[in-house]
């Protein structure tokens, strides 16, 4: 069974890293433009959801 949450988490990570590479104010870890902040937040939400699910596998 494909792990959608993991895939989305990885995709969000890639999307943000790509944005940070092309965007001069943003760095890999710290967004510094509205679009970077939005993408970074989306990535962090998915990362939290993913790591929380690992702690509670039955949920």
Q: Which residues bind Zn ion (CB under 5 A)?
A: 23, 26, 33, 36
**Cα 59 from Cα 53, distance rounded (Å):** 7
Nearest approach in angstroms of CB 56 to Zn ion is 33
Nearest approach in angstroms of CB 41 to Zn ion is 12
Q: Which one, 5 or 25, has the nearer CB to Zn ion?
A: 25
Would you state the torsion angle of the CA atoms of residues 44, 46, 50, 53, taken in this order, to the nearest 10 degrees?
110
Q: Which one, 3 or 35, has the nearer CB to Zn ion?
A: 35
**Cα 28 from Cα 20, distance rounded (Å):** 6
């Amino acid at each position: 069974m494909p792990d959608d949450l993991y895939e989305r988490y990885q995709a969000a990570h890639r999307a943000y890293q790509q944005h940070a590479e092309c965007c001069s104010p943003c760095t890999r870890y710290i967004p510094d433009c509205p679009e970077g902040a939005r993408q970074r937040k989306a990535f962090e939400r998915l990362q939290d959801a993913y790591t929380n699910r690992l702690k509670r596998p039955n949920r």
